Structure 1
Amino acid sequence: MGSTLMTCALTDLGIQWAGWALAAAFRTEKFYDLAGSGTFILLAHLSRILGGANHVRQKVQTGLVTAWGVRLGTFLFMRILKDGHDRRFNNVRDSPGTFFVYWTIQAMWVFTTLLPTLMLNTEKQDVPLGTRDYIGWTVWGLGFAAEAVADQQKWLFKSDPDNAAREVHPERTVGPQQTPKLSWRDPAVVRSLALRLISDAGSAVPECGVSSFRLVLAALRQRHPHPGEAGHEEVGI
């Protein structure tokens, strides 16, 4: 497991740092989210190949990550092409050092979010599918559908010139204005894929730690692009 996780971690960092070099050179953030979602897909398949087992559970899990990454990456890329810029980076794109921090945070976000799937894809023993698998996949499906519908609604809302200056954040907000905009949909999509690994208290501890760490990363991704102003951009997880 260790060598596979290390390979995935180094690959993740390599992709994000290469993306940073290009983004800093051209002073653009247009492929930032696309690089993130693309790395999700690549690492999921890389871990499955390196794991060598290729069980049904691993195939399904990797397929779900792929579906989520393709949908979210396509949506975010089309959105930035339409808008022309991402205002989260208004004070970042001209500062290579700060830009590097953002790309590094994205690398950490990708790896910690995907860690349950990476761990699953290293398992050699083919445990029969059980109730926990089907519950997790069902929760994933509900979260995926709700996330897709919400993103489409936001797209249509922002496409109306009368709404161009308005924010769509209440339905994604889970607390005070300064908290990350993490609705139930986003954790549902991610954590449902970790359900298979939480078989006892011992394995639940790392997942709780990863979830907490991801919330910290989400707060950093949301807050830093807007020094001196409240952030409204959702955190795509």
Structure 2
Amino acid sequence: MNPWWSLLAVWLLAAAMMTLGWQWQRVRGNAGIVDVLWAAGVGGSAVVLALIGDGAWPTRLALAVLGGAWGIRLAVHLWKRVRGEPEDGRYQNLRAHWRGDQWKFFAFFQFQALLIVLFALPFLAAARNPDTSGLWLPAALAMWLLGVGGESIADAQLARFRADPAHRGRTCRDGLWRYSRHPNYFFEWLHWFAYVCLAVGSPIGWLAWSGPVVMYVFLRWISGIPFTEAQALRSRGEDYRAYQRSTPMLIPWFPKRTAR
């Protein structure tokens, strides 16, 4: 299938899914579902593109398994938070800023559908890769295991910390969170290099670099760290400011010795 028709199919599916998600948040007043659907949509796009791609079957199989498993893990993790907690502070602030305007929320959900297409570009490159020689396939698996494994550990450490009522209003500094303020984001970014490895040899392999590049831009400057840290400062105040002074923002490193 023509790659542009493939992306159109991904967009149509994502737009329909996000429309249903918008309706869900209208009824329940929780826009956090958009994060769940984004993860499921990006992971699902890897499976769809692997199925309709014309590359070598081992690469397409690896793409479907790795991309699909990543999407399922992240979507389930996010769903547990959306289902069991009040609406995330980021979306509460948007709701207040937009005064509950549902057309703005609809546009926001549909923008997420377009982002699914953007993040599907590395999968498109891998799905058209005719080359299965060399060590790039096992390298992709190793990078995926490192990224998804690290993110899973960071998520579990944060969930365990948040589950203790004694930690309310405090900042997690346990495990990986001692070395990075956002270790989950760091390993999420790292995992996108797996698809760069899968796309080596593809006629459009350069597209795979859009994954780590665009993900870094979004995490660092747009929708990840800026929103997360603004909410942390509102909820944890000086404790989080001390954490900012002592702990690297994204790439893990040893913390500075500063007073909290």
Q: Give TM-score, length-normalised by structure 2.
A: 0.71
The answer to whether 1:158 aligns with 2:157 is no
Give the unaligned 5+ runs of structure 2. 234-248, 251-260
Q: Give the match's secondary structure for 1:24.
A: helix
Q: Give the match's secondary structure for 1:184.
A: helix
Q: 1:127 to 1:54 in 2, by over 3 A?
A: closer
1:93-152: per-residue Cα shift (whole Å, max 9, x none)? 42324423432342233222232113322x2x6422421222122011111111111100
Task: Give the counterpart of 1:100 among 87, 106, 127.
Answer: 106
Alpha-carbon contact 1:40-1:110 (below 8 Å) kept: yes
Equivalent pairs counted in the alignment come to 224
- RMSD, aligned CA: 3.3
Q: Within 5 Å, give how 1:92-171 maps onto structure 2.
A: 92-93=94-95, 94-121=100-127, 123=128, 126-168=130-172, 171=179
Give the unaligned 5+ runs of structure 1. 175-180
**Range with greater deviation from structure 2 (12-21 or 70-79):** 12-21
Larger RCO, structure (CA 8 Å, separation 6 or more): 1
Task: Give the counterpart of 1:84 among 78, 86, 101.
Answer: 86
Letter of the structure 2 residue corresponding to residue 95 of structure 1 = D
Q: Give TM-score, length-normalised by structure 1.
A: 0.77
Q: Within 5 Å, give how 1:60-71 maps onto structure 2.
A: 60-71=62-73
Q: Distance in 1 between matches of 2:26 and 2:222?
A: 20
Alpha-carbon contact 1:17-1:103 (below 8 Å) kept: yes
Q: Give the match's secondary structure for 1:23.
A: helix
Larger Rg: 2
Letter of the structure 1 residue corresponding to residue 168 of structure 2 = A
Q: Distance in 2 between matches of 1:170 and 1:16?
A: 36
Report the counterpart of residue 237 of structure 2 in structure 1: none
Report the counterpart of residue 20 of structure 1 in structure 2: 22
How much has 1:183 moved relative to structure 2? 4.0
Runs of 4+ in 1 over 6 A off after TM superposition: 223-226
Q: Give the match's secondary structure for 1:165.
A: coil
Task: Give the counterpart of 1:42 among 41, 44, 48.
Answer: 44
